[in-house]
Amino acid sequence: MENETPVDEARLPKELIEEAEAPPDKKISESLYGKIMKMTVSEKTKLATLGNREARNILIKESNRLILSAVINSPKMTEDDALAYASNKSLSDEVIKLIALKKEWMQSYQIKLALVANPKTPTTVSLKLLNYLMEKDLRNISKSRNIPPLISRAAIRILNKQGRV
């Protein structure tokens, strides 16, 4: 962000900051995407912090770590948003790492399960989270072809240790 001036919040389009009551139609979504793509990194970072869900959903696909971190640490980010991002297999592994670092979200069983089920989750994170999963979920993970074999084998080991295989 060197040589960039501070971002004036008034310059950000209001449709990107205020939460919409109804889902935006496709035309509006495309124009929002175009506006966001023309922004500088500092404007995108500010928008990630202040923006609405639609803006965050566009910005979460960015490759810049600063923008991703701003989206994940946004005060408007909800547990439902985190669950959707943790479940999304097409997002970068950087998003997964950032979600796994947020203690308040790691208290949610659904987010733990979504992270383990996401093949992009780092192996060390998945292995730690396996210990918190229920038997039926461990069984599903042990049989899943979408999960790395190391994680599947670890789930089987946990089930064996518990005497539930």
Q: What are phi and psi of 8, to 5 degrees?
A: -85, 120
State pLDDT tens for residues 4-48.
Answer: 445 556 566 666 666 665 555 555 556 788 888 888 999 999 999
- pLDDT tens string 47-100: 999 989 999 999 999 999 999 999 999 999 999 999 999 999 999 999 999 999
Angle at 78 between CA 29 and CA 107, to 5 degrees: 145
DSSP 81: H
Rounded to whole angstroms, the Cα distance separating 66 from 82 reads 17
Residue ranges per domain, the chain? 1-77, 78-165
CB contact at 8 A, 63 and 55: no
* pLDDT of 128 strictly over 80: yes
What pLDDT does residue 8 have?
59
**Rounded Cα–Cα distance for residues 132 and 91 (Å):** 24
